[in-house]
């Protein structure tokens, strides 16, 4: 089965989406049973000759109306961003009964109610997983997986630029405007960074997900929004003294009759997992009545992560179009007829770094005997640790950390070493992830 | 619309599921449009009189065949656990064209292929979100959200009992068998803990999710499985010296033509988010080609979290039964007609703890003047910090950490304080989560 897509807007995410459809066509077919075909791309600044990806697209145009009028297009993917043109295109597509996929959080935060109402009227689906949390599947999690819960609160780190700046300020001791300048030079911050550093983008996103979580429309203009431009190094230093970090959080809470939604810099203890969410990563902490706490972490932006969310929405709509059978999702998420044969590795065939704790007699040459045998098995050693104070009965622990090595070599070497009379107990072997 | 459920097995999860359906009936109806009705419960040891929850159930029996033969039942929920009886019940339900929801990871790991094949033959859905990760929606995430990605690797902390024991060993310096005994006394470990501490339960779970992730059947008996019974305090201490922790990981990786799947204790650096997953919590780190890294964290077991996954599966099947329209999920995950009116709080109405940094002249009485005004506004102070070495021009920072307080009081107090001539710069206000 073929699903035909028209893409409007060919920027970072549009390109990421196209790359996924081309590179991952096999896995998408395997899981969904569909061929997703991009029939047309519309963009004001497009140049077919400058981009090899576009050579696969039959129809490239600067006129979006050609896509809207193409009766073979099932889904319009809106990735131009901004408000007015995007709103107009989505309206026109909906009344022509085309399904919509968009990553436009500003548009949905401002005009989502109107768009969803129109889509319901015309029996059209709007997928918007890419609008919040990039590669983190937070919207479907709230709509389906946590659907049977009363969501009590959400704490989100939802803007990668702001989080990157705060992380740099903390790790490098620099002031806000210095880090912002560097981030702009490296392309991590826009030349006009206001949406990111003033908290506006975060407020757009919490408006969307708190509406889903609390089952009611949360208007963007009711959200208190405070950015990070006033955060000083001295405050980060004080927070550190308190075993805390400063993060830009988007917070939404529901009480019996009240809701609060806000975006502002927040000091959180180091022991919180959210305090470990650094650089451009995003995360959502959600507390529900029944499921209790869940955390969802990943890349909040970028062509591939957001492109992946956009393509997942396309696949979901394709499943809906096909549906009318109980098999809208194959039981394991893929169709049996596409199964492949894979060799499943034995544990001996698997490479890993290792921690080896030998129990040895406290004699000279013990270290060289053991490391010699390890060397004979191509095991190279990163470090050796000894703890003299633990010796008793002339026995002591001797720990080696190895580089990555074939597991079989470790077992073979330890089998030989454990026969030696300098070894007083079975050697402990633990794998190490570096 | 009514969906009729027959529940087989009334233990912790069955009870958790019933509590959710009763307590959260409103939110479930709001999001799905359905009434989920439990028509019958079958359990060998059930006693209607000892459990108020059961008073709402029309039909209670010890004979599961009465449920299987009830033509009004759409979905059989299998929560008896174990292999043979559960397998038999699921087979019989499938051939009677009843949809299945189960949390039985051992059964699916051993006989999943056969069950899924039969279900496809009879056009029946099998929901099994509760079988892995309890309240963490990992199965749907892999089947739908990450469906357009090639999954490269999964690292999971998937057994709460083992993770609880390792956490206790690390925090309290005790040996394995001492902690195990305590955990058994507290009900965190079974009287026969082999499945949990020997890694078997973890292997069941990684068998299921690696099959989904890699789109191929991963047989349970091919998974290398090593538990935590040999982990000694001395190894945990050495790991600590290396800025690492020991966790029981379930690991699955896919290469071009090879797959490796294994369960064993693993040393991981403290800087990994997985190293912060403590106590009974579970987490999955997933690396994909396009989305890159995501982490999914939550409670891996228990009546409410696993019950929530079971009910989410029921709702998903109900949506499929209804389907045949593009509206299988409402656009925001809930139906507009159930919208409520909520007052959205102004930022001034919201309670929080605060960090206040005053820039003051270095005079006696400054502290008492400021704390006096804070006290006048019902702001109670946890601690005050001063950093003498930073003073210059007779100015210095003075930091107060407050208890939770109405935000308006903070703003009012700071407005007054900022008028004082002992204050030399605008006061910095940052919210604190404790």
Question: Confidence band (pLDDT; 50, 70, 90) for A295?
Answer: very high
- Cα angle A164, A168, A171 (rounded to 5 degrees) comes to 135
Say if residue B138's pLDDT is above 90.
Answer: yes
A125 and B216 in contact by Cβ < 8 A? no
B30, B333, B434: residue with CB nearest A142: B333
Give how far B149 is from chain A: nearest CA, Å: 7
**Is B325 touching A (CB cutoff 8 A)?**
yes
Residue of A nearest to B225 (CA): A347
Q: Where are the beta strands (DSSP E) in B120-226?
A: 126-127, 151-157, 224-225
**B242 strand-pairing partners:** none
Say if residue A309's pLDDT is above 90.
Answer: yes
pLDDT in tens, A194-205: 999 999 999 999
3-state secondary structure string, A208-258?
HHHHHHHCCCCCHHHCEECCCCCCCHHHHHHHHHCCEEEEEEEEEEECCCE
**Is A229 touching B (CB cutoff 8 A)?**
no
Q: Which two tokens stand for residue A246?
A: 């400063």
A218, A239, A347: residue with CB nearest B224: A347
Identify the helix (H) or strand (E) that includes residue B233.
helix B233-241
In angstroms, the CA B426 to CA A198 distance is 19
Q: Which domains does chain B have, with CATH numbers?
A: 2-132+304-338 (3.40.50.720), 138-299 (3.30.360.10), 347-432 (3.30.70.260)
Question: Confidence band (pLDDT; 50, 70, 90) for A308?
Answer: very high
**Is A11 touching B (CB cutoff 8 A)?**
no
The answer to whether residues B365 and B373 touch, using CB atoms and an 8 Å cutoff, is no
The one catalytic residue among A98, A105, A205, A254: A205
B interface test, pick of A144, A211, A213, A425 with most B CB neighbours within 10 Å: A144
- The string of DSSP codes covering A258-293 is EEEEEEEEEEEETTSGGGG--TTEEEEEEEETTTEE
Contact residues on chain A for B297, CB-CB shorter than 8 A? 273, 293-297
- Alpha-carbon radius of gyration of chain B: 27
User: Is B245 part of the annotated catalytic residue set?
Assistant: no
Mean pLDDT of chain B: 89
A343 and B258 in contact by Cβ < 8 A? yes
Give how far B368 is from chain A: nearest CA, Å: 21
- Size of the A and B interface in Cβ pairs below 8 Å: 397
Question: Confidence band (pLDDT; 50, 70, 90) for B298?
Answer: very high
Percentage of chain A modeled with pLDDT above 70: 94
> Considering only CA atoms, which of A164, A290, A189 is closest in space to residue B307?
A290
In angstroms, the CA A222 to CA A219 distance is 6
> Considering only CA atoms, which of B351, B312, B334, B324 is closest in space to residue B434?
B351
Residue of B nearest to A275 (CA): B273
B20, B268, B324: residue with CB nearest A290: B20
Say if residue B390's pLDDT is above 80.
Answer: no
A135, A238, A434: residue with CB nearest B292: A135
The ipTM assigned to this model is 0.86
A235 and B355 in contact by Cβ < 8 A? yes
Say if residue A257's pLDDT is above 70.
Answer: yes
A147 and B120 in contact by Cβ < 8 A? no
Comparing A139-153, A337-351, B169-183, B367-381, which segment has the lowest mean pLDDT?
A337-351
Contacting B residues, span 150-189, partner chain A, CB-CB under 8 Å: 150, 155
Count CB atoms within 10 A of the CB of residue B97.
12
pLDDT in tens, A80-135: 999 999 999 999 999 999 999 999 999 999 999 899 889 888 988 899 999 999 99
**Is A289 touching B (CB cutoff 8 A)?**
yes
* Phi and psi angles of residue B418, each rounded to the nearest 5 degrees, phi first: -65, -15
Q: Which two tokens stand for residue A82?
A: 């901004």
Say if residue A393's pLDDT is above 80.
Answer: no
Question: Confidence band (pLDDT; 50, 70, 90) for B325?
Answer: very low
B257 and A339 in contact by Cβ < 8 A? no
A344 and B219 in contact by Cβ < 8 A? yes
What would the mean pLDDT of B416-431 be, rounded to a whole number? 92
Residue of A nearest to B287 (CA): A298
**Is B141 touching A (CB cutoff 8 A)?**
yes
Contact residues on chain A for B135, CB-CB shorter than 8 A? 290-292, 294
Give how far B123 is from chain A: nearest CA, Å: 7
**Is A367 touching B (CB cutoff 8 A)?**
no
The answer to whether residues A108 and A127 touch, using CB atoms and an 8 Å cutoff, is no
Say if residue B391's pLDDT is above 70.
Answer: no
B126, B265, B291: residue with CB nearest A430: B265
* pLDDT reported for residue B334: 59
A216, A269, A397: residue with CB nearest B340: A216
* pLDDT reported for residue B327: 46
Cα dihedral value B25, B29, B34, B38, nearest 10: 0
In angstroms, the CA A405 to CA A349 distance is 10
Instruction: Report how far Cα B161 is from the mean position of its chain's Cα atoms.
Output: 15
Question: Confidence band (pLDDT; 50, 70, 90) for A432?
Answer: confident
Q: Which two tokens stand for residue A405?
A: 């090595």
Q: What is the pTM of this model?
A: 0.87
* Integer angstrom CA distances of residue A85 from A11, A74, A227: 15, 20, 27
The one catalytic residue among B205, B245, B247, B254: B205
Instruction: Report how far Cα A117 is from the mean position of its chain's Cα atoms.
Output: 29
Say if residue A332's pLDDT is above 60.
Answer: no
pLDDT in tens, B208-244: 999 888 888 888 988 989 999 989 898 898 888 888 8
The answer to whether residues A31 and A49 touch, using CB atoms and an 8 Å cutoff, is no
pLDDT in tens, B115-137: 988 988 898 889 999 999 999 99
* pLDDT reported for residue A325: 44
A interface test, pick of B127, B135, B148, B218 with most A CB neighbours within 10 Å: B148
* pLDDT reported for residue A330: 56
């Amino acid at each position: 089965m073929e699903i035909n897509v028209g893409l409007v807007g060919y920027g970072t995410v549009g390109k990421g989406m196209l790359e996924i459809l081309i590179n991952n066509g096999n896995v998408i077919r395997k899981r969904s049973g569909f061929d997703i075909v991009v029939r047309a791309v519309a963009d004001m600044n497009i140049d077919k000759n400058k981009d090899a990806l576009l050579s696969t697209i039959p129809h490239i145009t600067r006129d979006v109306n050609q896509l809207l009028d193409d009766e073979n297009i099932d889904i319009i993917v809106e990735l131009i961003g901004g408000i007015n043109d995007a709103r107009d295109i989505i309206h026109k597509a909906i009344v022509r009964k085309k399904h919509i996929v968009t990553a436009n959080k500003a548009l949905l935060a401002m005009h989502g109610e109107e768009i969803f109402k129109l889509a319901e009227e015309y029996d059209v689906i709007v997928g918007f997983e890419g609008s919040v949390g990039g590669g983190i599947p937070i919207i479907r999690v709230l709509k389906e997986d946590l659907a049977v819960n009363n969501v009590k609160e959400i704490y989100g780190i939802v803007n990668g630029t702001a989080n990157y700046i705060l992380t740099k300020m903390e790790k490098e001791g620099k002031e806000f405007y210095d880090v912002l300048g560097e981030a702009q030079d490296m392309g991590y911050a826009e030349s006009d960074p206001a949406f990111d550093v003033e908290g506006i983008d975060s407020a757009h996103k919490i408006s969307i997900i708190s509406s889903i979580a609390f089952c009611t429309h949360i208007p963007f203009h009711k959200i208190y929004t405070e950015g990070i431009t006033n955060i000083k190094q001295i405050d980060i230093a004080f927070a550190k003294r308190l075993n805390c970090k400063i993060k830009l959080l988007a917070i939404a809470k529901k009480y019996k009759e009240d809701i609060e939604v806000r975006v502002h810099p927040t000091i959180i203890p180091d022991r919180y997992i959210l305090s470990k969410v650094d650089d451009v990563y995003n995360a959502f902490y959600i507390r529900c009545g029944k499921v209790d706490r869940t955390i969802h972490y990943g890349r909040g932006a970028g062509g591939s992560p957001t492109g992946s969310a956009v393509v997942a929405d396309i696949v979901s709509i394709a499943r809906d179009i096909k549906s009318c059978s109980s098999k809208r999702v194959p039981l394991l998420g893929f169709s049996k007829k596409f199964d492949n044969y894979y060799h499943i590795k034995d544990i001996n065939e698997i490479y890993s770094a290792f921690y080896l704790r030998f129990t040895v007699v406290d004699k000279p040459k013990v270290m060289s005997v053991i490391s010699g045998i390890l060397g004979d098995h191509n095991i190279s050693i990163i470090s050796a640790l000894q703890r003299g104070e633990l010796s008793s009965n002339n026995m002591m622990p001797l720990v080696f950390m190895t580089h990555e090595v074939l597991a079989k070599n470790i077992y073979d070497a330890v089998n030989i070493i454990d026969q030696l009379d300098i070894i007083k107990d079975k050697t402990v072997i633990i794998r190490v992830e570096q």
